[in-house]
C-alpha cells in the first residue's frame, strides 16, 4: 500500500526566534526607525541637528544594538548547520555586491537576501542581511558611518522576505518580485533619509529645516529623493525583479533542497538500534 507524502512547508526556520530574541529584534527595529527618521521627529532645540552629530551618534549606537540582537538570536537559535549556511550565503552575497557596486542602481545582492529570507525564515534573513553587508564592506573598503545604516536596512529586507504570505509556483515568484521592487525603493529612501540633513546647504527648497512641521520636512525629503536618487532606486528595484524572475525558481529549489537535508527546524531524535 502506497503512502502519500505530506507536502513540504515552503519556509524553513533555520533560526528559531525565542521570545527574548524576538523582543530584542523588535527593539532593534524601533531603534533603527528612530536612527533613520530622526530628521522628521527632532525639534528645533534638539542637539542631533548640530554639526553632523546625529549620524555619528547613531553610527556608534546601531552596531551595539545589532550586536545584542545577533547575540540573542545566536544564543540557542543557531545550530552548526545554520551557521554554515549563513557563512556560505553571506560569502556569496559579499562576492556578488561588488559586481554591481550600485552603478546606476544595479545592485546584485538584494535578490539573494529576499530568496534566502523566504526559504529560511525572518530570523535568518535578518542576520544574513546584516552579516552580508558587513562582509561586503570589509572586502570593498566601504567601512564608515554609513555602514550600520546599510546593515540594518539590508537586515530589514531579509526579515520582511521571511514574513511574506505562503504561496507557491508562479504566484510566489510574482510576490517575491513585487517585494524585491518595493524593498529596493524603500532601501534607497532609508539611505537617503540617513544623510539628507547634511547632503546640501540649509537654504534650498530641498534642505532639512530643524523643527519644521513633519509634513513640510517630509515634502522636502521626497523632492530631494526624487531629484537626486530616484533613478538609482528604480534601477535597484528593476534589478531585483529581473534576477528574482530569471533565477528565483532555481535558487529557491536549491535552498529548499539544502534546508530539507539540513532539517533545521526539527530537533534530532534518538532512535534505538534494532538488529532485526
Q: Which three cell numbers stand for residue 244?
A: 528574482
Separation in Å, CA 112 to CA 196, 204, 223, 230, 266: 28, 39, 30, 22, 24
Burial class (CB in 10 A: 0-12, 13-18, 19+), 68: middle
Residue 4: how many other CB atoms lie within 10 Å: 5
pLDDT value at residue 271 = 43
Answer positive or negative: Cα dihedral of 46, 47, 52, 55: negative
Pair 173, 136: CB distance under 8 Å: no
pLDDT band at 5 (very low <50, low <70, confident <90, very high): very low
What pLDDT, on a 0 to 100 scale, did the predictor assign at position 272?
46
Is 212 inside any structural domain?
A: yes
The rounded distance, in Å, linking the Cα atoms of 144 and 148 is 8
Match 540582537 to its residue by C-alpha cell: 69
Least confident of 41-55, 112-126, 144-158, 238-252: 41-55
Residue 147 lies in a domain: yes
Asked if residue 122 is part of any domain, the answer here is yes
- pTM over cut 0.75: yes
* Angle subtended by helix axes 110-120 and 230-262, to nearest 10: 40
Q: Is residue 3 part of a domain?
A: no
Question: Mean pLDDT score of the chain, rounded to an integer?
Answer: 81
Q: Is the pLDDT of residue 74 over 80?
A: no
Tens digit of pLDDT for each residue in 190-246?
A: 999 988 888 887 778 888 888 788 899 999 999 999 998 888 899 999 999 999 999
Q: CB neighbours (10 Å) of residue 18?
A: 14
Q: Quick one: pLDDT at residue 270?
A: 45
Report the pLDDT value the prediction gives residue 67, as an integer from 0 to 100. Answer: 77
Question: By percentage, how much of the chain surpasses pLDDT 70?
Answer: 78
Number of domains in the chain: 1
Q: How many residues does the chain have?
A: 276
Closest CA to 114 of 72, 155, 82: 155
Residue 272 in domain: no
Mean pLDDT over 93-111 rounds to 77
Q: Does 85 fall in a domain?
A: yes
10 in helix, strand or coil? Answer: coil
CATH number at residue 126: 1.10.1760.20
Residue 172 maps to a domain: yes
What is d(CA 271, CA 5) in angstroms, rounded to the nearest whole number?
21
Q: Which domain holds residue 248?
A: 19-262
Concatenating the DSSP letter of every residue in 32-86 gives: HHHHHHHHHH--TT-GGGSTTHHHHHHHHHHHHHHHHHHHHHHHHH--HHHHHHH
What single string gives the DSSP state of each residue in 110-160? HHHHHHHHHHH-HHHHHHHHHHHHHHHHHHHT--STTHHHHHHHHHHHHHH
Q: Does the residue 47 lie in any domain?
A: yes
Amino acid at each position: 500500500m502506497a503512502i502519500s507524502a505530506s507536502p513540504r512547508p515552503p519556509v524553513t526556520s533555520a533560526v528559531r526566534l525565542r521570545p527574548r530574541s524576538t523582543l530584542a529584534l523588535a527593539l532593534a527595529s524601533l531603534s533603527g526607525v528612530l536612527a533613520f527618521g530622526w530628521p522628521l521627529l527632532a525639534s528645533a532645540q534638539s542637539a542631533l541637528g548640530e554639526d553632523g552629530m546625529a549620524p555619528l551618534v547613531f553610527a556608534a549606537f546601531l552596531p551595539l544594538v545589532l550586536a545584542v540582537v545577533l547575540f540573542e538570536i545566536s544564543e540557542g537559535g543557531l545550530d552548526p548547520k545554520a551557521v554554515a549556511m549563513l557563512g556560505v550565503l553571506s560569502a556569496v552575497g559579499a562576492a556578488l555586491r561588488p559586481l554591481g557596486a550600485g552603478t546606476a542602481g544595479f545592485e546584485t545582492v538584494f535578490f539573494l537576501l529576499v530568496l534566502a529570507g523566504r526559504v529560511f525564515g525572518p530570523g535568518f534573513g535578518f542576520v544574513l542581511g546584516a552579516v552580508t553587508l558587513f562582509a561586503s564592506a570589509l572586502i570593498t573598503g566601504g567601512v564608515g558611518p554609513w555602514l550600520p545604516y546599510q546593515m540594518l536596512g539590508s537586515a530589514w529586507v531579509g526579515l520582511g522576505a521571511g514574513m511574506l504570505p505562503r504561496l507557491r509556483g508562479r504566484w510566489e515568484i510574482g510576490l517575491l518580485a513585487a517585494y524585491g521592487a518595493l524593498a529596493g525603493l524603500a532601501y534607497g529612501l532609508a539611505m537617503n533619509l540617513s544623510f539628507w540633513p547634511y547632503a546640501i546647504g540649509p537654504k534650498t527648497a530641498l534642505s532639512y529645516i530643524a523643527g519644521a512641521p513633519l509634513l513640510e520636512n517630509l515634502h522636502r525629503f521626497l523632492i530631494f529623493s526624487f531629484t537626486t536618487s530616484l533613478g538609482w532606486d528604480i534601477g535597484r528595484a528593476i534589478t531585483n525583479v529581473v534576477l528574482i524572475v530569471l533565477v528565483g525558481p532555481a535558487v529557491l529549489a536549491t535552498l529548499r533542497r539544502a534546508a530539507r537535508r539540513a532539517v533545521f527546524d526539527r530537533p534530532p531524535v534518538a532512535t534505538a538500534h534494532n538488529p532485526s
